[in-house]
Structures are given as C-alpha cells and as structure tokens.
A = this chain, B = another copy of it.
Amino acid sequence: MTDIRSRGEDAAPLGELRIALEVSIPSDVRYIERVVEIVRSQCMAVLFAPRHCALNVPVALSEALSNAILYGNGEDPEKHVRVRAQVDDEQLVLEVADEGTGFDLEEETNDPTQLENIEREDGRGLFLMQQLMDRVERFDDHGNVIRLTLKRGS
C-alpha cells in the first residue's frame, strides 16, 4: 500500500460569503493588536492573499487605529474608536471612526522616503496606508472616519 495523502474537498467557492464586523474599543493602544488579529482572521477566512493578510491589512489597520486613538480621541478613556470591516469576494472595506474633528488627509500625508524625512521617527502612518491599500478616504460622520479599501486581486 502506498502512502496516500489527500486534501479534503475543494475549498468552497467564495461567492456569497459576506462578513460584516463591528468592534468598539476604548482609546487605549493596547487594544490594537487584538482588533488587528480579528480582522486578519476574517481576511484569511475569505482567502485573501497571504501577503494581504500578513502585511497590508495588519499594518494599515494598526496605523488607522493608532491615529484614531492618539490624535482623534487624544487617548481620552471616555471616547471610543469604532471599526467596521466588510468583506466579500471582491474587496475588504475597513472603516475606523474616532470622535475627533478630522484633518486634511492630503495635507497631512508625508513622503517619508524623501531624504530630509528618512531619519524622522514619525510621519509614516498615512503614507503606509496609501501604499498598502488600494484606496484611502476620509470623511465626517459624527466624528472622523478613515475608510481603507483593498481589492482582492490587487
């Protein structure tokens, strides 16, 4: 008898697996890692590319969460950050909402790869979101919201 090794039935077709997640956390950076872990596993469950699940989503979401906690809510323990994640077979849409008054996305986005910036300790967050996501948007909705969109195929 030869060594038989078989995979289970083929993974289910992806169409129609829709996930919507809503997480609310206090303004404390120690929550970031856990929220990222939840969204990452969602990302894996719909079979996004490994790199998307290991790099693009965790880093971009961490950045948005830190900014919301630190700048948007000023680490005020009374204020909350809300994350909505929606996934289907086409794309992942993340929305991170804080209770702040917002900011000018274009104005505040730095290019940390410029020689004069390369040794700066800060100013890489919005840049990384732009690099790692297909789209970054900001809008107001009872506070500041950042929307990150990542297409499956990208």
Contact = CB atoms under 8 A, between A and B. Distances in A.
B24 A21 contact: no
A20 interface: yes
A75 to B, nearest CB: 13
Given A35-B45, A45-B34, A16 B20 contact: no
Contact of A11 (B9, B23, B24, B30): B30
21 contacts: A10-B30, A11-B30, A12-B28, A12-B31, A12-B34, A16-B25, A17-B24, A17-B25, A17-B34, A19-B21, A19-B38, A20-B21, A21-B21, A21-B22, A34-B45, A34-B46, A37-B41, A37-B44, A38-B41, A38-B45, A41-B42
Contacts of A38: 19, 41-42, 45
A100 interface: no
Interface string A111-151: 00000000000000000000000000000000000000000
A94 to B, nearest CB: 14
Interface residues of A, number: 29
A51 interface: no
Nearest to A46: B34
Nearest to A82: B18
Complex A-B, nearest 7 residue pairs according to Cβ-Cβ distance, in ascending order: A41-B41, A12-B30, A34-B45, A20-B22, A38-B45, A18-B24, A16-B26
